[in-house]
Structure 1
Amino acid sequence: MPTEDPHLERLGTLDTCAVSDALDALGLPGAALGIHSVTGRHRVSGRAVTVELVAAGTVESPRHLGTAAVDASGPGDVVVVAHDGRTHVSGWGGVLSAGARKRGIEGIVVDGAVRDVDEATDLGLAVYARAGVPVTARSRVVERGWNVDVTVAGVDVAPGDYVVADGSGVVFVPAAHIQTVLDKAELVAAKERAMVAKVHEGASMVEVMGADYENLLAQ
């Protein structure tokens, strides 16, 4: 994906809360609940390169999971692994993290557990997952496909959809709605910045967060 994508530049200035608020206002799902950073404080935005994992024995896979997605990705991309919420087995590991870092991939999102968390942390790679676990994927899960439509924590994600992740979690934005979501999120962020400015000026919280706050998304 090209890093000069103007939507990515705008998304990179927003946090997950503003984007989630915008999705709420538009009646769109997007927040991937239960997934958080396991490698420290990061702020990531990019476009999804998806991987779908299934139980071993379900399908024959010609390669190790995630490898094709890493090889095809780079700056501006976030590898998104649909691991069906499994926390008893890893859906990502250290060698993949090294490859992702080498290729300049923005970050990794796994709907399930990952391993080699210390390695990814030392690399400075942003990895978002449900948990860390030492258990290998070998003989337990395999890749059914990559760059396919997936579901992550109940959210439908298509290749090329937008991803933003920070300390509050992970949010996906359908590519078809990115312009509208960005417009709304930027308005939300601007209003909240103005509210914080009033706090620093000494205004009371009742004044700052009055009745208008509850109607913020409708304005």
Structure 2
Amino acid sequence: MSDIIARLQAVDACAVSDALDTLGLPGVALGLERLSTQKPVRGRVTTVRLVPAGRAAPSGRHLGTAAVEASGAGDVIVVDHGGRNDVSGWGGNLSLAAAQRGVEGVIVDGACRDLDESRDLDLPVFARGAVPITARGRVVEQDWNIPVTISGVEVHPGDYVIADGSGVVFIPADRGAEVLDAAEAVVERERQMAEQIRQGVPISQVMGAKYETMLEKA
């Protein structure tokens, strides 16, 4: 496990989002929800780009299979499905293969299907929703392991992602340590505030004037 992935285990999507705000970086992918398990996802990105059938030459393989076979523990498969909710961009056999390889989870910018199977596998799947309609004859894989756009956020292979009940947040690979430094500082400040609340300090004092500026860089 890389140092960045190990450090991701101690923060959540909100802390990373706050860190990105502090650094003036984009990264929050809006509109994606966890649909299978309650497990958070943290890891390194492997990308897939899907397009409507007929818009790209067929790759000769089923969508997602190359990414699954190249991924394992510490990896998260991220599928650029163009935000489509009328056809699935991920399914049950892909989830089975991903789970067998130890993949941490799957994020689809669009719809997926076979959620009951993903749930039984305890494989976290984040997407825009579920639909039973197959990709066969409707969607093809244009390429994989390339830069993609997920809910307006540019994502590159090897970037990092954290996804939990609050949402999905991407971290550029070359800014990982910097973002984690800021996120860990946020976690510590929030921990101190929570401890004050437990000790009976009025919430108006804990979340006073300094709270509104706590993300500003010194």
**Common fold by TM > 0.5:** yes
Alignment partner, residue 29 of structure 2: 32
Find the partner of 1:184 among 173, 182, 194: 182
Give the aligned residue type for 1:150: V
Alignment partner, residue 139 of structure 1: 137
1:216 equivalenced with 2:211 (yes/no): no
Distance (Å, rounded) in 2 between the aligned partners of 1:33 and 1:213 = 24
**Over aligned residues, Cα RMSD in angstroms?**
0.7
% same residue: 57
- Runs of 4+ with >4 A deviation: none
Distance (Å, rounded) in 2 between the aligned partners of 1:175 and 1:6 = 12
Distance (Å, rounded) in 2 between the aligned partners of 1:50 and 1:142 = 14
Alignment partner, residue 6 of structure 1: 3
Equivalences for 1:123-162 in 2 at 5 Å? 123-162=121-160
| Deviation at residue 41 of structure 1 after TM alignment | 1.0
Give the aligned residue type for 1:109: I
| Deviation by residue 1:108-128 (Cα, 9 ceiling, x = unmatched) | 000000000011011100000
Alignment partner, residue 169 of structure 1: 167
Alignment partner, residue 195 of structure 2: 197
| Deviation at residue 196 of structure 1 after TM alignment | 0.4
Does the 8 Å CA contact 2:37/2:123 hold for their aligned counterparts?
no
Does the 8 Å CA contact 1:83/1:112 hold for their aligned counterparts?
yes
Distance (Å, rounded) in 2 between the aligned partners of 1:211 and 1:82 = 41
TM-score (structure 1 length as normaliser): 0.97
TM-score (structure 2 length as normaliser): 0.98
Find the partner of 1:48 among 45, 49, 62: 45
Give the aligned residue type for 1:103: R
Distance (Å, rounded) in 1 between the aligned partners of 2:193 and 2:129 = 35
- Secondary structure of the 2:83 match is strand
Distance (Å, rounded) in 2 between the aligned partners of 1:75 and 1:128 = 18
Give the aligned residue type for 1:56: A
| Deviation at residue 156 of structure 1 after TM alignment | 0.2
Unmatched tracts of structure 2, length 5 or more = none
Would you say how many aligned residue pairs link Structure 1 and Structure 2? 216
| Deviation by residue 1:65-106 (Cα, 9 ceiling, x = unmatched) | 000000110000000000000000000000000000000000
- Secondary structure of the 1:217 match is coil
- Secondary structure of the 2:37 match is coil
Does the 8 Å CA contact 2:160/2:171 hold for their aligned counterparts?
yes
Give the aligned residue type for 1:148: I
Does the 8 Å CA contact 1:12/1:44 hold for their aligned counterparts?
no
Distance (Å, rounded) in 2 between the aligned partners of 1:62 and 1:29 = 35
Distance (Å, rounded) in 1 between the aligned partners of 2:4 and 2:70 = 21
Distance (Å, rounded) in 2 between the aligned partners of 1:135 and 1:200 = 49
Distance (Å, rounded) in 1 between the aligned partners of 2:10 and 2:108 = 23
Distance (Å, rounded) in 2 between the aligned partners of 1:7 and 1:108 = 19
Distance (Å, rounded) in 2 between the aligned partners of 1:20 and 1:42 = 19
